[in-house]
């Protein structure tokens, strides 16, 4: 399967500015592949589900630029296929601070994403934060920039979007963007004390999908 995005460019953010003003923070990398044969990406209808890449879709391997080390989480491929069968627009969010540290580059990250799409099928949008903590960007969670960039690219309102994440920071980013959050905890208590009252959680991605279907928020 050839990895050929329809366009690749930064999108403007309505995220946080550095304290004391200053220039707009660096934008995330966004790859929009279109609607994958489902609804048009420009019609503004339907729902979207944004998935945290590591810990929710695949095993979390620090600074992984090797497609041979992409391991799907248990049940994740079937869960994604179920969402795709409903016509839900699917996106992936990921922070890759290894870029800022010189360990990774864009080509290596996209090679990993190519492998993920070989295993899971195409996703409608990828949103990548390549910044380190010192850059104070608007897309490093719990800032909402990745969620906002993905929903803007898909032209789906945040209120029609669910973010399924592995940490409390994912849920905070979702809430600040105006989206729903659903936690699939990564390891033991990686909610990091950031899970606000009322946030839902599931044991794994298949469980999260069942919750979305029961609540009617994946249509």
Query: Quick check: 146 and 29 in contact, CB under 8 A?
Result: no
What residues have CB less than 8 Å from 78, skipping those under 6 apart? 206
* Residue 187 confidence (pLDDT): 60
What residue ranges of the chain have pLDDT lower than 50?
Answer: 1-25, 35-44, 188-197
* Residue 191 confidence (pLDDT): 45
End-to-end CA, the chain: 28
Query: Following DSSP, what letter does each residue of the chain receive, concatenated?
Result: -----SEE------SPPPTT--SPPPPPEEEE---TTSS-TTS--S-EEEEETBTTTB---TT---GGG--BPTTHHHHHHHHHHTT-EEEEEEE-TTTTTTS--HHHHHHHHHHHHHHH---SEEEEE---GGG--SSSTTSSHHHHHHHHHHT--GGGEEEEESSHHHHHHHHHHT-EEEE---SSSTTTT---TT-EE-SSHHHHHHHHHHHT---
For the chain, list the domains and their CATH numbers. 27-215 (3.40.50.1000)
- How much is the pTM? 0.82
* Residue 15 confidence (pLDDT): 35
Closest CA to 158 of 47, 17, 24: 47
- Which residues does the annotation mark as catalytic? 52, 54
Instruction: Note the pLDDT tens digit of each residue in 173-187.
Output: 999 999 999 999 876
Closest CA to 176 of 217, 156, 147: 147
What residues have CB less than 8 Å from 198, skipping those under 6 apart? none
* Residue 26 confidence (pLDDT): 74
* Residue 67 confidence (pLDDT): 97
Query: Quick check: 6 and 33 in contact, CB under 8 A?
Result: yes
Q: Report the alpha-carbon angle 170-70-93, nearest 5.
A: 25
């Amino acid at each position: 399967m050839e990895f050929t995005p329809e366009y690749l460019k930064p999108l403007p953010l309505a995220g946080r500015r550095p304290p004391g003003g200053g220039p707009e923070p660096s934008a995330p990398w966004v790859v929009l592949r279109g609607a994958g044969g489902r609804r048009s990406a420009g019609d503004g209808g339907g729902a979207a589900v944004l998935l945290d890449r590591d810990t929710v879709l695949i095993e979390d391997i620090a600074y992984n630029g090797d497609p041979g080390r992409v391991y799907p989480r248990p049940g994740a491929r079937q869960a994604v296929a179920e969402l795709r069968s409903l016509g839900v627009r699917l996106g992936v969010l990921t922070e890759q601070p290894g870029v800022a540290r010189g360990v990774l580059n864009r080509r290596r990250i996209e090679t990993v994403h190519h492998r993920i799409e070989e295993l899971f099928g195409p996703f409608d949008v990828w949103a990548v934060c390549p910044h380190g903590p010192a850059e104070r960007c608007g897309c490093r969670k719990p800032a909402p920039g990745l969620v906002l960039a993905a929903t803007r690219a898909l032209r789906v309102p945040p209120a029609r979007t669910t973010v399924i994440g592995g940490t409390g920071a994912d849920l905070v980013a979702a809430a600040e963007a105006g989206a729903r959050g659903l936690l699939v905890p990564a390891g033991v208590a990686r909610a990091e004390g950031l899970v606000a009252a009322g946030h839902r959680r599931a044991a794994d991605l298949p469980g999260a999908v069942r919750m979305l279907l029961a609540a009617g928020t994946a249509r």
